[in-house]
Structure 1
Amino acid sequence: MDERLIIVGADVGNGYTKIDLGDSLQFQIPSLVSHGKERNLAVLMENYTNPNDLDAQLIIMDIKINDHQKDTVEHFFCGELALSEGTSLNQWDDDKGASNGSRALLLSSIALGLKEQQAIVYLSASLPVKNFSRYKKSYEENIAGDYTVEFCSGPMKGLSKRIKILRCRVYPEGLGVYILELHERKKTFLSQGIHAIIAPGFRTTEFLLFRNGKPVDDLSGSLEFGIASAHKHVAKHLSDTYGMDYSEHEIDILFREDLQVTIRRGEKLRVKEVCENEFRSLSDLIVAKLRIKWQDVWKQLESIMVSDGGGLVVFNNGLQDKLISSTDAEIYLVDNAPFANAMGNRTAAVIALGGSKYGNG
């Protein structure tokens, strides 16, 4: 194995898997997985001349994973390919360490970003606050191992990457954001007083409260709703009104790419507008729940940071205005919100290893 140690920050969310390999190299893939199969017809239409076209490869994550410890080989479609060519499954397992699907998303994304054919990896990941204590050990023990990831389609077809995950270290989701803001982005004011993070994700909304630089357990946790809750309402509207069936992930793609759907001959609907109405309702719900949970400190909050991909979506669709109107705290969306948790997890690992500089191979 290559003796070079690579630190990877990961956020395997219920909606998207985010990877930060340092050196500004980051990837995001929908957290969808299906059993892989031969793509004999599809490959007839594929002609790639640049094996380093990572954007093209990202939408054709057709991979095989060889687990050298268990001596098994499994074939997966991940991300958009699972949605378009497989029977995709949401990776909503609470015990992500024991989930083959979550592991496939993680390993395929790491392999995509490795510049060399093999690497030793120190992985820093996270779990929802509500699951952290229960599943931390399972994640750290089950993910560590020796794997080979083979790309079966796309620009990197035929390439294999050997990945030895030397250690996996797991943090509660949102803590990485705080560490990133405090240590990497030098917002030293966060070490004193009362500050909070709201991180709306796909399935849950994570919230953490910090008092003088330390998280408060009783005032941190997970709300059992997120962006998918809004998408579910949009999907129900389309089904009830127009007889059109879409999954939450399909609605998310329609929203993000601002696509229209044909509802009648010659008549189209802009799904994004329907989603934005639901996001405002979701923002109201998030603030209402957190005002109850933080009622004893609500007026003492000095700042509230909003993070994650869902946070980016709802911040300007109701959440910012709702928070400003109900608290005197400083309200801001963190930079690069979708990747902030993965970046923060990596920052935490760098600090834990002594602050040395590690690259992406």
Structure 2
Amino acid sequence: MKVAGLDLGNDSIKLVLDGGGEPLLVPNVVAPGFERHILQEEDQPLKALDVIVHSPKLAKNGERSFVGLLAMENEDNTELEDMDNKALSDQSLIVALTALAYAGVATGSASQSGYQGYDEVEYVLGTGLPVRAFSRYNRSFEERLVGEHEVTFLTTPRLRNRKVKVIVRRAIVSIEGAAAVFHMATHDSLQIRDEELYHGTIGVCEIGALTTDFPLIKRMNIDNQFSTGEQIGLAHYMDMIIREVEDQYGYRFPSRSKLAQRIKAREFTIRRMGEGQTDIKPIVDMYFTRAANRMVELIKKRWKKVPDIQCFYVIGGGAAALKPYLQAAAGSLKLRFADESELLNVYGYYKLAKSKTAVQKA
């Protein structure tokens, strides 16, 4: 049985397994699947996740889907929107189960079940929800994950027609942002690494795609009164960038994930049919500056309400993208950032699952 951290990000699913190795990232994008006309097979399985997912927890069970990178380029793809709830989302569950099945096979964790030639992989999962969703949906979220599911890879290279039974024995659900602080405060052995973080009063601004969470951590406990969240994230500004670029230049990004890839790579040049190249960085700067100003105002409001906060960490995928803009907007206000910002939660989820599993064994 594998212990794993699973972050169901609205932009991408992140997965960390015990035994080390690089985190697995799969864009949280899905498109309806169909028979593919393959001229040249992709060189990696992750580039062509073509699956049928069977799960009693899915409203539309057993449908064919393109997932992740394969779906990003499809004009019929879907990304999560503001009104979507990841705890109840079929899309997030499909991407998560696909990632868990792939990771089980790719790392050699899966075993032959002997049942119709299936591979079988078992997990104890650590995962999380936004602050505002946690109290209401953590039980529902746990129930959707726990149980037996089946993923069949269709035209995926090296996994063609391979069936994987994914068994989730237990899901430990925590709060986004709080898990990140637990990761930063502890060693891999779960011993204390940072006394200030572990014993202090820490403010967190966790900027995601659709939500921004403000958990307040006191001695590694969540403050129920002052922890809160906002139903806005970086996706709102990404969508505005996509519309602005299309209006000005007639160029449309097929998905937010595609734009995010460009921004991460610092590739701001687009090619216009018959008209050469155009630099879209001024558009990105304009909207990211607006996003940063809003986030800094929200942080100031939280800090004024709880003046005992010792430091304020800004984390998450949104923090990584907005860091220079946030620093400019903050001025003399000291904000803390961390390396691998978008992976802090998933490492924290993994450590929390590892901690709970160790306690249970003891």
Q: TM-score, normalised by structure 1?
A: 0.85
Asked whether the equivalents of residues 25 and 113 of structure 1 are also in contact (C-alpha less than 8 Å), the reply is no
C-alpha distance in 2, partners of 1:204/1:318? 18
Query: Taking structure 1 as reference, are residues 295 and 57 closer, same or farther at Cα in structure 2, changes over 3 Å only?
Result: same
Using the TM superposition, name which of 265-274 and 62-71 deviates more. Answer: 62-71
One-letter amino acid of the counterpart of residue 164, structure 1: I
One-letter amino acid of the counterpart of residue 76, structure 1: S
Would you identify which runs of 4 or more consecutive aligned residues in structure 1 move more than 4 Å? 68-72
| Cα drift, residue 18 of structure 1 | 1.0
2:34 paired with 1:45: no
Residue in structure 2 matching 1:354, options 348, 353, 358: 358
| Cα drift, residue 9 of structure 1 | 0.8
> What pairs up with 1:82-231 in 2 under 5 angstroms?
82-85=71-74, 87-92=76-81, 94-114=84-104, 115=108, 116=110, 117-155=119-157, 156-184=159-187, 186-231=193-238
2:286 paired with 1:291: no
Aligned partner of residue 251 in structure 1, secondary structure? helix
Aligned partner of residue 325 in structure 1, secondary structure? coil
Q: Which residue of 2 aligns with 1:66?
A: 54
Q: Which residue of 1 aligns with 2:312?
A: 304
C-alpha distance in 2, partners of 1:320/1:248? 24
Using the TM superposition, name which of 80-89 and 344-353 deviates more. Answer: 80-89
Asked whether the equivalents of residues 51 and 152 of structure 2 are also in contact (C-alpha less than 8 Å), the reply is yes
Q: Which residue of 2 aligns with 1:11?
A: 7
Which residues of structure 2 form unaligned runs of 5+?
111-118
| Cα drift, residue 109 of structure 1 | 0.8
Asked whether the equivalents of residues 124 and 169 of structure 1 are also in contact (C-alpha less than 8 Å), the reply is yes
Query: Taking structure 1 as reference, are residues 37 and 288 closer, same or farther at Cα in structure 2, changes over 3 Å only?
Result: same
Q: For each residue in 1:296-320, what CA deviation from the matched residue of structure 2 results, as whole angstroms up to 9, or x when unmatched? A: 334x4322222221111111x2213
2:347 paired with 1:343: yes
Aligned partner of residue 313 in structure 1, secondary structure? helix
One-letter amino acid of the counterpart of residue 292, structure 1: K
Asked whether the equivalents of residues 57 and 144 of structure 2 are also in contact (C-alpha less than 8 Å), the reply is no
Give the total of aligned pairs.
339
Q: For each residue in 1:188-240, what CA deviation from the matched residue of structure 2 results, as whole angstroms up to 9, or x when unmatched? A: 21133321122111112122222333222232222222221221221232233
C-alpha distance in 1, partners of 2:239/2:315? 22
Q: For each residue in 1:121-145, what CA deviation from the matched residue of structure 2 results, as whole angstroms up to 9, or x when unmatched? A: 1111111111111111111112211
Q: For each residue in 1:21-55, what CA deviation from the matched residue of structure 2 results, as whole angstroms up to 9, or x when unmatched? A: 1313411121111221111x1x232165xxxxxxx
| Cα drift, residue 347 of structure 1 | 0.5
Q: Which residue of 2 aligns with 1:234?
A: 241
Aligned partner of residue 126 in structure 2, secondary structure? strand
Q: What is the aligned-residue RMSD (CA, Å)?
A: 2.5
Q: Which residue of 2 aligns with 1:334?
A: 338
| Cα drift, residue 173 of structure 1 | 0.9
Aligned partner of residue 161 in structure 2, secondary structure? coil
C-alpha distance in 2, partners of 1:355/1:28? 29
C-alpha distance in 2, partners of 1:217/1:280? 31
2:242 paired with 1:253: no
Aligned partner of residue 181 in structure 1, secondary structure? helix
Aligned partner of residue 217 in structure 1, secondary structure? coil
Residue in structure 1 matching 2:25, options 23, 28, 31: 28
One-letter amino acid of the counterpart of residue 65, structure 2: F
Q: Which residue of 1 aligns with 2:114?
A: none
Q: Percent identity?
A: 22
| Cα drift, residue 324 of structure 1 | 5.6
Query: Taking structure 1 as reference, are residues 243 and 220 closer, same or farther at Cα in structure 2, changes over 3 Å only?
Result: same
Query: Taking structure 1 as reference, are residues 295 and 74 closer, same or farther at Cα in structure 2, changes over 3 Å only?
Result: same
Which residues of structure 1 form unaligned runs of 5+?
49-55
